[in-house]
Chains A and B, each alone.
Chain A
Amino acid sequence: MSTPFLSVKNLSKTYPNGVQALRGVSFDVNPGEFLVVIGLSGSGKSTLMRCLNRLQDPTAGEIFFEGHDIGKLKSGEEIRALRRKMGMIFQHFNLIPRQSVLKNVLMGKLGQKKTAASIFGLFTDTEKSEALSNLKLVGIADKASLRADSLSGGQKQRVAIARALTQKPALLLADEPVASLDPATCHVVMDYLKKVNQELGITVIANLHFLSLVRKYATRVIALKDGEIVFTGKPEEITQEWFQKIYGEGTQDVAPDVL
């Protein structure tokens, strides 16, 4: 095997208030994978994501991305260059309300634009058509001129995916992308993430809760508990025993497998 696409070694993160969110986490990600991270709330999943694109600074350990240790980047310029290569979507979508859907998608280009041009909202026709084609990809090109806060939850998350795609990322980080959606919309959004993964070849790392979704979409799973990896393997290897070990005794999946 060649060198992995992303390699995390002994990653630790302690917050200023003393909470140890991650304790020596190590794993590799290969290009084109759909890696799912599972674990209880507070097990360190979100912190892990935010260390990868440096919204948080790791306390110790290394993160190798495209051959560089990105955990040690100091200058703002280098960190921004890194973030351009990683798209991110969030549980609460984090769109900018009162702005059009298209404008929200265009914001994916901010990292590559000159400050002055972006302050005056000058986006080129090429950028606009790129944003539109990304909206088409997630099936809501017809909503481009609507205000972002007029959309439903599922539509908002699709806009957020389009925004992340406009960055032309090599890696897509999805922090609980469906945790605030209803079960039906859940699958729609997950299907688009799968499409992005398979058709565009973008590596995806997603935090999920439902075992049924994990089994359907993941190519590989890691499970975090108290900031440590307790399981690595194929999704079908997570038996009921493993599930209870990760989530605690007596836990049942919210949406049992009826697929």
Chain B
Amino acid sequence: MLRRTFFDAFCFAFLLCAGVVAVFVSAEEQLLNLIQDLVVVLVALAVGAGISLLFKKFKIRTLGSVLFDLPTSEQGHPWYRSFWGWQLIVLLVVSFAVALAKTEFSFVELLDQNGFAGAVRLFKGLFNPNWEVLPRAVLNIIETIFMAFLATSIAIPFAFVLSFFCAKNIMRGTVGYMVYLILRTILNVTRSIEALIWAIIFSVWVGIGPFAGMLALMIHSVASLAKQYSEMVESVEEGPIEAIESTGANKLQTIWYAIVPQVVLPYISFTVYRWDINVRMATVIGLVGGGGIGTMLIQYQGQAMWREVGCIIVVIAVVVWALDLASAHIREALK
């Protein structure tokens, strides 16, 4: 009931706000007053909630009630004769219109003569790489690969230990559950901060270069691996745990003998995949000063040296493709 009302209120409020902006707002500056915006949004939400409750009273099924309420035994109208069907269509159409306006979508610019010529120049450069920078590019991608490797390796032991403290089936009891909740929250927050942001933080902390990139990847890897690992721990079979417990084994022995053998293969699989992801991420992180091939790429891009950029892109593509293939084969073999 609460979810339904909130959802519908949000839908109607969105439509109202879009209407208000379309009718009254001509310049973006008018929207920079936070208090005024907030008042409008809150009023719209209140009106939306009112409309939702009104529909509830007249027993008209809104999109919210289709999604969140229990299915009713009414005979099914075809969707185009139902209110919620039109609600969905109007919502999608308005969202699409707002999106077009916001992204300044324009065929004119896409097909503009000058711009198009620039793109052609760029592509000419990219498809005609300057192989003179190849040795440096290879050296840099090796730096990137090992940056990713070190980040993954250092992350493994931390994530391994954390994973058991983040698994609900191990952290039983009040104290255990509290630790579980706190750790999960910390990891979720850490994970929701992109590696790119961590790279910016560390490039200020330890200076621009591969070390900053490695630290950024490591933090992100610990959080991601710990989450994936702990989900594996939560899905292990209960039987062997019971069997080991019934021999009189303590908690640590039970984890080591009943749980670890069940999760070790998926762990390796996740870890190989994480290294693969880290190599790709390390390339991007290089763009903000994390060292490796990304830093080299951003330097040539800044000088519009497209032939050199082309060579670097080829190197990246080959390495990413090879690693992707290798990690897929390794993970397949581990099943």
Identify the A interface with B (CB < 8 A): 53, 55, 76, 80-84, 86-88, 90, 92-99, 107-113, 115, 118-119, 160, 163, 167, 173
Is B242 located at the chain interface by the 8 A CB criterion?
yes
> B250, A95: Cβ atoms under 8 Å?
no
Could you give, for residues 239-258 of chain B, a 1 whenever the CB lies within 8 Å of some chain A CB and a 0 otherwise? 11011111111111100111
> A96, B245: Cβ atoms under 8 Å?
no
**Cβ contact of B257, chosen from A90, A93, A96, A167, cutoff 8 A:** A96
> B252, A119: Cβ atoms under 8 Å?
yes
> B244, A167: Cβ atoms under 8 Å?
no
Determine the chain A residues whose CB is within 8 A of the CB of B253 once the complex forms. Answer: 110, 113, 115, 118-119
Is B302 located at the chain interface by the 8 A CB criterion?
no
> A86, B246: Cβ atoms under 8 Å?
yes
Is B78 located at the chain interface by the 8 A CB criterion?
no
**Cβ contact of A94, chosen from B243, B248, B252, cutoff 8 A:** B243
> B242, A107: Cβ atoms under 8 Å?
no
Is B261 located at the chain interface by the 8 A CB criterion?
yes
> A55, B249: Cβ atoms under 8 Å?
no
Q: Return B290 CB to nearest CB of chain A, in Å.
A: 38
Q: Quick one: which of B215-258 are within 8 Å of A by CB?
A: 239-240, 242-253, 256-258
Cα distance A141–B265 in the bound complex, in angstroms: 28
**Cβ contact of B243, chosen from A80, A86, A88, A99, cutoff 8 A:** A88
Report how many A-B pairs have Cβ atoms within 8 Å.
Answer: 78
> A76, B246: Cβ atoms under 8 Å?
no
Determine the chain B residues whose CB is within 8 A of the CB of A88 once the complex forms. Answer: 243, 246
Q: Return B117 CB to nearest CB of chain A, in Å.
A: 62
A94-B240, A119-B253, A119-B256 as given contacts; A110 in contact with B247, CB under 8 Å: yes
> A92, B239: Cβ atoms under 8 Å?
yes
**Cβ contact of B247, chosen from A76, A97, A163, cutoff 8 A:** A163
Instruction: Name the residue of chain B whose CB is nearest to the CB of A92.
Output: B239
**Cβ contact of A83, chosen from B246, B251, B265, cutoff 8 A:** B246
> A76, B242: Cβ atoms under 8 Å?
no
Q: Return A241 CB to nearest CB of chain B, in Å.
A: 36
A107-B257, A118-B256, A119-B256 as given contacts; A96 in contact with B249, CB under 8 Å: no
> A97, B248: Cβ atoms under 8 Å?
no
A96-B258, A97-B261 as given contacts; A108 in contact with B242, CB under 8 Å: no
A99-B261, A118-B253 as given contacts; A94 in contact with B247, CB under 8 Å: no
Q: Return B272 CB to nearest CB of chain A, in Å.
A: 18
Determine the chain B residues whose CB is within 8 A of the CB of A109 once the complex forms. Answer: 247
A94-B239, A94-B240 as given contacts; A53 in contact with B246, CB under 8 Å: yes
Identify the B interface with A (CB < 8 A): 239-240, 242-253, 256-258, 261-262, 265
Interchain residue pairs with CB less than 8 A apart (9):
A53-B246, A82-B248, A83-B247, A84-B248, A88-B246, A107-B249, A108-B247, A118-B253, A119-B256
Instruction: Name the residue of chain B whose CB is nearest to the CB of A76.
Output: B250
A84-B247, A112-B248 as given contacts; A95 in contact with B240, CB under 8 Å: yes
Q: Return A215 CB to nearest CB of chain B, in Å.
A: 28
Instruction: Name the residue of chain A whose CB is nearest to the CB of B245.
Output: A55
A96-B257, A98-B261, A119-B256 as given contacts; A110 in contact with B240, CB under 8 Å: no
Determine the chain A residues whose CB is within 8 A of the CB of B252 once the complex forms. Answer: 115, 119
Q: Return B171 CB to nearest CB of chain A, in Å.
A: 16
> A96, B261: Cβ atoms under 8 Å?
yes
A96-B261, A99-B261, A118-B256 as given contacts; A111 in contact with B242, CB under 8 Å: no
Instruction: Name the residue of chain B whose CB is nearest to the CB of A160.
Output: B243
Instruction: Name the residue of chain B whose CB is nearest to the CB of A110.
Output: B249
Residue of A86, A110, A167 with most partner-chain B CB within 10 A:
A110
Cα distance A122–B265 in the bound complex, in angstroms: 23
> B239, A80: Cβ atoms under 8 Å?
no
A55-B242, A94-B243, A96-B240 as given contacts; A80 in contact with B256, CB under 8 Å: no
Residue of B240, B245, B248, B262 with most partner-chain A CB within 10 A:
B248
A55-B245, A90-B242, A96-B240 as given contacts; A115 in contact with B250, CB under 8 Å: yes
> A80, B246: Cβ atoms under 8 Å?
no
Determine the chain B residues whose CB is within 8 A of the CB of A99 once the complex forms. Answer: 261
Instruction: Name the residue of chain B whose CB is nearest to the CB of A120.
Output: B256
Apart from the given pairs A83-B245, A99-B261, 11 other A-B contacts in the complex at a CB distance below 8 Å: A83-B248, A84-B248, A90-B242, A95-B243, A96-B257, A107-B249, A118-B256, A118-B257, A119-B253, A163-B243, A167-B247
Instruction: Name the residue of chain B whose CB is nearest to the CB of A113.
Output: B253
Q: Return A124 CB to nearest CB of chain B, in Å.
A: 16
